[in-house]
Amino acid sequence: MKTRAAVLRDLGKDWEITDLDLDPPKAGEVLVRFVAAGLCHSDDHLRTGDIPARYPIVGGHEGAGIVEETGDGVTRFKPGDHVVCSFLPVCGHCRFCARGMSNLCDLGVLLYENSLPDGTFRFHGDGQDYGQMCLLGTFSPWAVLSEHSCVKIDDDLPLEIVALVGCGVPTGWGTAVNSGNVRPGDTTVVYGVGGVGINAVQGAAFAGAQHVIAVDPVASKLEVASRLGATHTAATAEEAHQIAFEVTRGVGADQALVTVGVVTEEVIAAAFAAVRKRGVVVVTGLAGPAKKTIQVPGFELTLWEKRIQGSLFGGGNPFEEIPRMLDLYRAGKLKLDELVTARYRLDDVNQGYQDLLDGRNVRGVIIHEH
Ligand SMILES: NC(=O)c1ccc[n+]([C@@H]2O[C@H](COP(=O)([O-])OP(=O)(O)OC[C@H]3O[C@@H](n4cnc5c(N)ncnc54)[C@H](O)[C@@H]3O)[C@@H](O)[C@H]2O)c1
Ligand SMILES: [Zn+2]
Ligand SMILES: [Zn+2]
């Protein structure tokens, strides 16, 4: 079949809307009609090279839609099923999946080529194979996906909203709750209130943090953070540092969660300085693989037993976390509608990313036309 998708052809190039051919699903795959796709910062990293990948590539790794067709051997899905996509594929059987660390599934090795698990591609155009960001490609209204990337959800959930639960929501929430292990009474600092960080704020508040200090240079982000659980806000890391030491009477924060768009040495240093003895810095935001963003005094690391922890998908298991987030949403305990601050047509994807870089959105969402 034919589809239209937002693609990147090379490093530094803008998104381009192009017509592509899409193969039918092979064994273990499903054809999905995407209803909505979230604009996560990670797709912009594909453009800048902060996430290296093979080009050309269909963008988008946050999405929700409806299964239209299933390939041979697919038993978990039937046409008409609603799905949220996990930005990490989960095979269920590799050593890491078997140990309950399925965010680290060995299929993650595919995230450079971004082919489907059998090593071949479903999108084609001008004689070339197109990869699918995180094996998804939600910036196309149609895509063929591995069943390892799809989580079945209830039919009555709004697909335009729950698309966010494929990446930003569980990543942010788990940054606080899993990787940061926020406990009742804790003091948590969150650096960067985008689609990921706002959910770190919600997760920390829900886990019982007494003080949640949201840091972002953009005032409108801090307003949203205050509505969704932040007890304090700061425009700069220095301000946040002062607040963290004031409210803990000189002890320091229990967690410093780094969810900024592009991680820098400065923000890591600030986070490291803000935590108490045996406190933890959780690094969820990304920067290019060649950048040495973590420069901290080892002296303090050792003698204060400070910890630095990376976090992928919030340190949780996608097939567990996605339904959990949706249950909390249904119960009104996790806010999602409030996170969608702008809706775009696929043709306006470059505007959507400009708005992200200009700090206008908590999360922008593409609504697909069919
Ligand atoms: N580890 C994972 O599993 C995972 C998953 C998804 C996204 N990410 C990464 O998380 C990061 C955040 O993604 P997003 O979609 O929320 O991005 P975003 O651009 O929507 O939000 C980032 C926020 O950080 C703020 N910011 C920038 N520099 C800052 C600083 N020095 N101090 C405080 N705030 C600052 C911006 O104003 C913005 O509000 C990106 O690097 C993304 O690639 C990681
Ligand atoms: Zn993402
Ligand atoms: Zn696995």
List the pLDDT tens digit at each of the 370 positions of the chain. Answer: 999 999 999 999 999 999 999 999 999 999 999 999 999 999 999 999 999 999 999 999 999 999 999 999 999 999 999 999 999 999 999 999 999 999 999 999 999 999 999 999 999 999 999 999 999 999 999 999 999 999 999 999 999 999 999 999 999 999 999 999 999 999 999 999 999 999 999 999 999 999 999 999 999 999 999 999 999 999 999 999 999 999 999 999 999 999 999 999 999 999 999 999 999 999 999 999 999 999 999 999 999 999 999 999 999 999 999 999 999 999 999 999 999 999 999 999 999 999 999 999 999 999 999 9
- CB of 224 closer than 6 A to ligand 1? no
Does the beta carbon of 259 lie inside 6 Å of ligand 1?
Answer: yes
Going by their DSSP bridges, the two strands 150-153 and 82-85 should be labelled as: antiparallel
272 CA to middle of ligand 1, Å? 18
Residue 46: both structure tokens together: 């594909």
What's the 197 CA to ligand 1 centre distance in angstroms? 7
Closest ligand relative to 101 C-alpha: 3
The amino acid occupying position 73 is G
**Which atom of ligand 1 lies nearest, measured to the CA of 88?**
3
197 lines ligand 1 (CB under 6 A): yes
193 Cα nearest atom in ligand 1: 39
* DSSP of 275-325: EEEEEEEEE-SB--TT-------HHHHHHTT-EEEE-SGGGS-HHHHHHHH
- Three-state DSSP at 106 gives helix
* The residue type at 58: V
Closest protein CA for atom 27 of ligand 1: 260
Residue among 39, 41, 45 to mutate when testing ligand 1 (max atoms within 8 A of CB): 41
Q: Is the CB of 267 under 6 A from ligand 1?
A: yes
Please give the number of the atom of ligand 1 that sits closest to the Cα of 310. Answer: 1
Check if 311 has its Cβ closer than 6 Å to any atom of ligand 1: yes
Indicate which residue's Cα is closest to atom 25 of ligand 1.
192
* Rounded Cα–Cα distance for residues 2 and 207 (Å): 46
* Angle made by CA atoms 172, 332, 315, in degrees to the nearest 5: 25
Mapping DSSP onto H, E and C, the string for 315-333 reads HCCHHHHHHHHHHHHHCCC
Cα of 43 from ligand 1 centre, angstroms = 12
Q: Which helix (H) or strand (E) holds 45?
A: helix 41-48
Residue 255 Cα to ligand 1 middle (Å): 17
CA distance 247 to 75: 53
Q: Respond yes or no on whether the N-terminal peptide bond of residue 170 is cis (omega within 30° of 0).
A: no
Residue 222 beta carbon below 6 angstroms from any ligand 1 atom:
no
Enumerate residues with CB within 5 Å of ligand 3 (an ion). 91, 94, 97, 105
CA 63 to CA 84: how far, in whole Å?
A: 6
The angle at the Cα of 52, spanning 56 to 42, to the nearest 5 degrees, equals 90
Q: What is the DSSP letter of 75?
A: -
Task: Report in angstroms the alpha-carbon separations of 156 from 66, 150, 159, 233.
Answer: 12, 17, 9, 35
H helix intervals, 134-291: 159-162, 168-174, 197-206, 219-227, 237-247, 265-274
- Quote the pLDDT of residue 211: 99
Please list all protein residues whose beta carbon sits less than 5 angstroms from ligand 2, which is an ion.
40, 42, 167
| Beta-ladder partners of 271 | none
The pTM is what? 0.98
CB 171 less than 6 A from any atom of ligand 1: yes
Ligand nearest to the CA of 195: 1
Q: What is the pLDDT of residue 259?
A: 98
Q: How far is CA 53 from CA 113, 115, 142, 293, in A?
A: 6, 11, 21, 20
- What residue's CA is closest to ligand 1, atom 20? 194
CA dist 223 → 50, 229, 231, 232, 361 (Å): 29, 10, 11, 10, 12
In this predicted structure, what is the pLDDT of residue 221?
Answer: 98
Question: Which atom belonging to ligand 1 lies closest to the Cα atom of 284?
Answer: 1
What three-state secondary structure class fits 231?
A: coil
